[in-house]
Amino acid sequence: MKKVISSKEAAKLVKSNSTVMIGGFLDCGAPDKIIDELVKTDADNLTLVLNDTSYPNVDKGKLIATDKVKKIITSHIGTNPITGQKMMEGKIEVEILPMGTLVEKIRAYGAGLGGILTPTGVGTILEDGKETMTVKGKKYIFEEPLGADIAFIYGTTVDKYGNVSFEGTTRNFNQTMATAADTVVVQADEIVDCLNPNEIIIPGVFIDYIVENKEEN
């Protein structure tokens, strides 16, 4: 069985200078309780890998408002003006990738691939400084795989073995990120004894710790 820890314990797993993946599409399927605790820690100089920077002072957006983050690798910052402001002031480095490219870079790391070839961005600034390759007359950008030291993800229902199921679109980036970090922590709305195998989206082998979504003292 997987170890169940508090959100505070989960946040303390993050060390300064770490690369941290955080699941969620805006505030859908984001591990908000863990993020709340991460804001309170001393860990800084972090690199965040996430689909978006959410909204000001909402889940992932709370981290952006702090001085903990040195770099963000993401596909969207438009809903959080604080991200843009810090980027323009030179306080945070922001690397923006097309959403499909971002998730495929993460998937490639989890699958043990050497990278991916994508036509998205050819002939644009996305191509600058990157290797390109022509295959059957078509030009592609080579993108390296993207992993992390730790991933904080969300799960609707998680069993004691770490198997994860999702309701609706809450799986979003969570499913792929679970394969691409050295340590993976899932915040669960509910912990049960055993999931029906037909409901399992993320096998427990990818999960290291479980945090139950509940109020803590």
Domain enclosing residue 84, as ranges: 3-212
Is residue 118, in this structure, part of any structural domain at all? yes
CB-count exposure of residue 83 (10 Å: 0-12, 13-18, 19+): buried
Mean pLDDT of 78-82: 96
Pairing of strands 116-118, 138-143: antiparallel
Bridge partners of 131, per DSSP, are none
CA atoms within 13 A on the CB side of 63: 34
Largest CA-CA distance found in the chain, in angstroms, rounded: 61
Q: What is the pLDDT of residue 1?
A: 82
Q: Which helix (H) or strand (E) holds 62?
A: helix 60-64
- Quick one: pLDDT at residue 215? 65
Asked, for residue 217, whether it belongs to a domain, the answer is no
Tokens of 151: 């991933």
- In degrees, rounded to 5, the angle at the alpha carbon of residue 116 between the alpha carbons of residues 111 and 120 is 135
Report the percent of the chain where pLDDT is more than 70.
Answer: 99
Distance CA 195, CA 10 (A): 23
* 12 neighbors 152 (Cβ within 8 angstroms): no
- The CATH number covering residue 30 comes to 3.40.1080.10
- Residue 71, in any domain of the structure: yes
The answer to whether the pTM exceeds 0.85 is: yes
Q: What CA–CA distance (Å, rounded) separates 85 from 89? A: 6
Q: Which two tokens stand for residue 17?
A: 């200078």
The pLDDT tens digits of the residues spanning 40-77 come to 999 999 999 999 999 999 999 999 999 899 999 999 99
Q: Domains in the chain: how many in total?
A: 1
**pLDDT single digits (tens) 175-211:** 999 999 999 999 999 999 999 999 999 999 999 999 9
* Interval 107-116: pLDDT, tens: 999 999 999 9
